[in-house]
Amino acid sequence: MKILFICDPVANFKIHGDSTIALMAAAKDLGYSVHYALPKDIFATNNKALANSIPIEILIKTSDLNTIAIPWYTEHKKLSNCDLANYDAVMVRNDPPFDMEYYYLTQILELAENKGAKVVNNSYALRNFNEKLSILNFPEYISPTLVSRDKAVILNFIEEHGDCVVKPLDQMAGRGVFKLSENDANLSAILELSTNYFNISVMVQKFIPEVIYGDRRVFIVDGKIISHCLHRIPQGNQIRGNLAAGGRGEVHPVAEKDYIIANDVAKWLNKHKILFAGIDIIGNKLTEINITSPTALRQIFAHAGIDIAKLVIESITPRD
């Protein structure tokens, strides 16, 4: 069995926290040979999806993740023109932004799926379900939300709802998130920056005061909710709890109120054949549905002993 990871450069992984390392180690433990390719190494010839991929030897086991040291892998000679349909699974793990190149990648991956390849998460979902926009499918669980690039519409929304946050639709890790209010001296400047002078749509949401206590990343694998989640708590006067933005992480059991949201999202994920997702909750509000490359697996493993990476790999059924 062999599995291909489409990811950012392996040499740049943060060895003490990167979730893709956990997925690669789990794949090795379960008997897969591991290859990887950068997004630019995925291409199409006629109706075939191909990759120039690099086989790598994973030098660690899942049990080593909490004490990982360099080197944790070795690379072999790059292979040319590898048919993606010949892999037992293709895991898409490259980070946003979601741009036109990412869109083209999903089109190529669909060619592989047409020939029987198992892509996680599937190309249709990656292409159609933006991590922020997807919450609009759950209006009962979200803060009042606007998506627009129209200046007057945005200003009217802020006037109606008071304190708000503005978010770019194509970024991750809290990048480009600002808190706004109608009387903010920097309101116009921030909106101009966020929308590129009202040429790019953004998400504007009524501010959720409970953000000072952090958000919760809840994982769903193959329709099942993982029992523990990661609380990401802002530090200082920040409103962003993202670990990449300096937030502090704490692992706790999933609260009963969060199961209510997660159960409904899990049904939606199953409907669209989305195997692996991480949803974010602030207070009692759903804020994101992450399906491109959900992170924080390592923290859950380190503090709760739950191997989410193994559950993901085990849920990939090899083709007959």
Among residues 93, 118, 167, 206, which one is catalytic? Answer: 167
- Which is the catalytic residue, given 93, 118, 206, 217? 217
Per-residue pLDDT, 183: 87
**What are the residue ranges spanned by the domains of the chain?**
2-122, 144-207, 210-290
159-192 pLDDT, tens digit per residue, is 999 999 999 988 766 678 899 988 888 899 999 9
Helix H, strand E, coil C: the string for the chain is CEEEEECCCHHHCCCCCCHHHHHHHHHHHCCCEEEEECHHHEEEECCEEEEEEEEEEECCCHHHHHHCCCCCEEECCCEEEEEHHHCCEEEECCCCCCCHHHHHHHHHHHHHHHCCCCEECCHHHHHHCCCCHHHHHCHHHCCCEEEECCHHHHHHHHHHHCCEEEEECCCCCCCCCEEECCCCCCHHHHHHHHHCCCCCCEEEEECCHHHHHCEEEEEEECCEECCEEEEEECCCCCCCCCHHHCCEEEEEECCHHHHHHHHHHHHHHHHCCCCEEEEEEECCEEEEEECCCCCCHHHHHHHHCCCHHHHHHHCCCCCC
pLDDT of amino acid 235: 60
Residue tagged active-site, from 232, 285, 298, 310: 232
Decide if 29 is catalytic: no
Domain 144-207 architecture: 2-Layer Sandwich (3.30)
In the residue annotation, 288 being an active-site residue is answered as yes
Planar angle of CA 110, 20, 134, nearest 5 degrees: 55
Write down the pLDDT at residue 249: 79
CB under 8 Å to 11, separation ≥6 — which residues?
A: none
**Catalytic annotation, pick one of 113, 285, 290, 307:** 290
| Identified catalytic residue from 288, 298, 307, 310 | 288
132 among known catalytic residues: yes
Q: Given this model, what pLDDT does residue 247 score?
A: 61
Note the pLDDT of residue 176.
81
CATH architecture of the domain 2-122 equals 3-Layer(aba) Sandwich (3.40)
Q: Quick: pLDDT tens for 15-30.
A: 888 999 999 999 999 9
The pair of structure tokens assigned to 315 is: 């849920």
* Prediction pTM value: 0.92
The answer to whether 254 and 241 are in contact (CB under 8 A) is no
**Which among 18, 170, 215, 280 is annotated as catalytic?**
280
**Can 290 be counted among the known catalytic residues?**
yes
Q: Which member of 28, 206, 216, 240 is catalytic? A: 240
Query: Is 280 assigned a catalytic role?
Result: yes
Kindly name the residue from 132, 206, 216, 298 that is annotated as catalytic: 132
Spans in the chain with pLDDT lower than 70: 96-97, 172-174, 235-247, 318-320
What per-residue confidence (pLDDT) applies to 94?
A: 87
Residues paired with residue 251 on neighbouring β-strands, in sequence order: 230
In the prediction, which pLDDT does 320 show? Answer: 47
d(CA 5, CA 22): 12
For 210-290, CATH number out of 2.40.50.180, 2.60.200.20, 3.40.190.10, 3.30.470.20 equals 3.30.470.20
